């Protein structure tokens, strides 16, 4: 299972498909094939692995990170493909939460295949959260990225912010951006910085991804059509709302699973106050400003409002420090009653 999980983690962004890994073993436990889910329209992990064996895996064991699907969508049901291949045993980590795709385990059992579940479930659940969160909780998974100085400032008093962090950090950001299917900023940040909100290389050119993330601009201020968020690199969605829950509902309507939130502190603060940020990625430059604009405009008034973040990863990227963490629950039930943002 860990081998399948590593394959899923190393996969490219395949949203709106889940990134799944599958290992097929012979009856002595030797690996016969390793498969990964492709982009929509391509094979799922099980089909990818079976194709390497000519579709025949008589008596074999399939180890899959996600319950094999039981429905026909862009491809046929993986559960049936495993049955047709002669697989005798299937081990998977977590149930498929997709309302249409579940039921594969029951299909396998009905065909006489031995089925087990739960192996490395917590690790797989964490890996699949950016895809599965909308099915578990009814909204997209939200990653907030910010860059700041050691004293927590993301812009100087005159509003300048480019560049606080190093070229190495900016390249690292593009790798994370590429894992999402939407990049979001507020109208204030767009008007101030004229960002592209796309995945780019070190020469500021769009990377040749088959599918660039959708660009989301949130707020009620008009953005002139000559701004770079309206170029042809990626689609752009304008959401004229000041409420995070409304924004997330609109993203659900547009089949967004994982949104990358950046630019600027009022937008991030609104989502933070509402308790709808699921992962924080901070790039901290070894420098001080002394005065300027904080990375986050929240509602805290006392230390009782302090919200912990569990550190998942901490490392240097060039001269900067990168922190990846999971926020704890909001400390007060009154969160989410801010003034909105632009």
Q: Which two tokens stand for residue 237?
A: 């969605």
Q: Annotated binding residue at 293?
A: no
The answer to whether 313 and 293 have CB atoms below 8 angstroms apart is no
Q: Annotated binding residue at 307?
A: no
Q: Annotated binding residue at 267?
A: yes
Query: Is the peptide bond between 264 and the residue preceding it cis, with omega within 30 degrees of 0?
Result: yes
Q: Annotated binding residue at 131?
A: no
Q: Annotated binding residue at 78?
A: yes
Q: Annotated binding residue at 6?
A: no
What is the C-alpha separation between 185 and 263, in angstroms, rounded? 5
The answer to whether 71 and 95 have CB atoms below 8 angstroms apart is no
Q: Annotated binding residue at 177?
A: yes
Residue 46 is among the residues annotated as catalytic for this protein: yes
How does strand 141-149 pair with strand 114-117? unpaired
What is the C-alpha separation between 13 and 39, in angstroms, rounded? 8
Q: Annotated binding residue at 147?
A: yes
CB atoms within 10 A of CB 241: 17
CB atoms within 10 A of CB 177: 22
Long-range contacts of 234-237 (CB under 8 A, 24+ apart): 234/197, 234/198, 236/197
Q: Which residue has the tokens 């689609």?
A: 235
Q: Annotated binding residue at 161?
A: yes
Q: Which residue has the tokens 């829950």?
A: 245
Strand ranges, E, within 188-318: 214-218, 236-239, 258-261, 279-285, 293-294, 309-317
Query: 6, 31, 46, 274: which one is catalytic?
Result: 46
Q: Annotated binding residue at 140?
A: no
**Residue 13 backbone dihedrals phi, psi, to 5 degrees:** -65, 120
Q: Which two tokens stand for residue 264?
A: 């600027």
Q: Annotated binding residue at 269?
A: yes
As annotated, the binding site for substrate includes 161, 177, 197, 200, 262
Active-site amino acid positions: 46
Task: Mark the binding-site residues for NADP(+), compressed into ranges.
Answer: 147, 163, 193, 264-270
Binding-site annotation: residue ranges: 44, 69, 78, 147, 161, 163, 177, 193, 197, 200, 262, 264-270
Known binding residues for Zn(2+) are: 44, 69, 78
């Amino acid at each position: 299972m860990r081998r399948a999980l590593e394959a899923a983690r190393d996969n490219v962004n395949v949203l709106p498909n889940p990134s799944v890994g599958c290992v097929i073993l012979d009856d002595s436990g030797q690996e016969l094939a390793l498969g990964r889910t492709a982009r929509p329209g391509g094979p799922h992990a099980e089909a990818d692995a079976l194709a390497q064996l000519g579709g025949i895996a008589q008596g074999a064991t399939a180890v899959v990170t996600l319950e094999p699907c039981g429905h026909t969508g862009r491809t046929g049901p993986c559960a049936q493909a495993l049955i047709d291949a002669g697989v005798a045993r299937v081990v998977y980590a977590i149930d498929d939460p997709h309302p249409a795709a579940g039921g594969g385990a029951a299909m396998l059992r009905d065909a006489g295949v031995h089925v087990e579940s739960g192996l490395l479930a917590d690790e797989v659940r964490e890996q699949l959260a950016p895809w599965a969160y909308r099915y578990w909780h009814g909204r997209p998974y939200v990653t907030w990225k910010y860059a700041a100085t050691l004293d927590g400032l993301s812009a100087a008093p005159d509003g300048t912010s480019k560049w606080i962090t190093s070229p190495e950090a900016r390249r690292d950001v593009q790798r994370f951006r590429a894992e999402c299917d939407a990049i979001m900023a507020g109208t204030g940040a767009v008007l101030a910085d004229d960002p592209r909100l796309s995945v780019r290389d070190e020469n500021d050119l769009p990377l040749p991804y088959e599918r660039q993330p959708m660009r989301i601009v949130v707020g009620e201020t008009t953005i002139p059509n000559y701004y770079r968020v309206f170029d042809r690199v990626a689609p752009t969605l304008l959401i004229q709302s000041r409420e995070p829950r409304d924004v997330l509902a609109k993203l659900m309507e547009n089949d967004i699973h994982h949104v990358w939130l950046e630019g600027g502190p009022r937008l991030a603060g609104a989502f933070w106050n509402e308790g709808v940020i699921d992962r924080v990625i901070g790039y901290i430059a070894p420098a001080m400003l002394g005065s300027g604009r904080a990375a986050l405009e929240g509602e805290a008034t006392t230390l009782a409002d302090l919200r912990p973040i569990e550190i998942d990863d901490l490392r240097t990227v060039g001269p900067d420090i990168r922190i990846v963490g999971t926020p704890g629950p909001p400390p007060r039930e009154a969160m989410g009653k801010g003034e909105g943002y632009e």
